[in-house]
Amino acid sequence: MGRAPCCDKANVKRGPWSPEEDAKLKSYIEEHGTGGNWIALPQKIGLKRCGKSCRLRWLNYLRPNIKHGGFSEEEDNIICSLYVNIGSRWSIIAAQLPGRTDNDIKNYWNTKLKKKILGKQRKEHHAQARRVGGLKQEIKRESEDLMLPVGVISRTPHWPHEQNSWPIPVANAYCDLNNQTSPIVHIPDTTVTATMNSQYSSFDISLTQDQLYPSTVNTITTDTCHTSNVFQGFGNFSSDLACVDPQHIDGSSERLFYGMESMEIGNGSTNTTSTESTSWGDISSLVYPPLVSHYESCQQRILPQEVTFDGSSYFAMQTQ
């Protein structure tokens, strides 16, 4: 059985707000506050609106100090970097941008910023394809560009439980697998074993803990490690935005794309892939320079490699 509606939809007005309604709502809230009960609010004011609608109108439009449009370059950068790191948590992103609402940022991202960035990215792909050569790769990438660009991330990262405690889970994509075979990485109370399949191929990682958070991963120690940031410890391997969503680890193997590499995470098995499309797929080739300081060095090591993903093959960029 479905949930009861929050209001009688037959008796509430819907659609655009009139200036009169805006004025009523604004003056009431400025004078009395919301009273902690949005559902009851419209009745008090005499508005034939759903309480949720009032809340939305207030938060997204009537609230003081709201900015609309005109996103600055700096705001673009903040949105991009946060999106890359935490995904479509618009309310969290909005909290970092005073005067902006989650709805505004969401709309801005979906309508402008994403295209702007993908446009830049596509230009880079063109240039790169010319350098690397290979018509097949270029055609493939063109068609897949907005669907599942391979090379960075296709997973929703896990956000640390305490929002105050984040470091943004950022790391770099430089990966030198030479001379590394099977690093064993120790995390307190657990062990993560990473096995290289081949020099430039995927990692198979067995997780023996239920959840692997960025904050936890930061405590990884290993003898062979010299990297910092998330997933430090895999020899000379460092990850680009490699966060693990614990919801997707349990009982199944995951392919986590990161940086210019891909790696597979599972609970012991090494050859199954479980995938689902997430919003990360849309921007997975997006690398925001300030967050990926070694990106340029990565680019210089790129080799195309065909990989199988979700039953289809794609061309991933592998570092050299």
Partner DNA sequence: AAGAATTTCAACCGCCCGGCA
Partner DNA sequence: TTGCCGGGCGGTTGAAATTCT
Give the footprint of DNA on this chain (CB under 7 A). 2-4, 6, 9, 13-17, 34, 36-40, 50-53, 55-57, 60-61, 68-69, 88-92, 102-104, 106-108, 110-112, 115, 279
Closest of 27, 111, 22, 89 to residue 60, by C-alpha: 22
249: left (phi over 0), alpha (psi -120 to 50) or beta: alpha
Tokens 């009688």 -> residue: 8
Nearer of residues 118 and 316 to DNA, judged by Cβ: 118
Residue 205 near residue 265 (C-beta atoms within 8 A): yes
Backbone angles phi, psi at 315, to 5 degrees: -105, 115
Nearer of residues 57 and 255 to DNA, judged by Cβ: 57
Residue 150 near residue 314 (C-beta atoms within 8 A): yes
CB 105, min distance to DNA, A: 9
CB 62, min distance to DNA, A: 9
For the chain, strand residue ranges (E) read 184-187, 190-196, 203-207, 254-258, 261-266, 302-309, 312-319
Distance CA 25, CA 8 (A): 19
Nearer of residues 73 and 189 to DNA, judged by Cβ: 73
Distance CA 42, CA 49 (A): 6
Nearer of residues 63 and 136 to DNA, judged by Cβ: 63
Nearer of residues 160 and 304 to DNA, judged by Cβ: 160
Nearer of residues 34 and 215 to DNA, judged by Cβ: 34
CB 23, min distance to DNA, A: 13
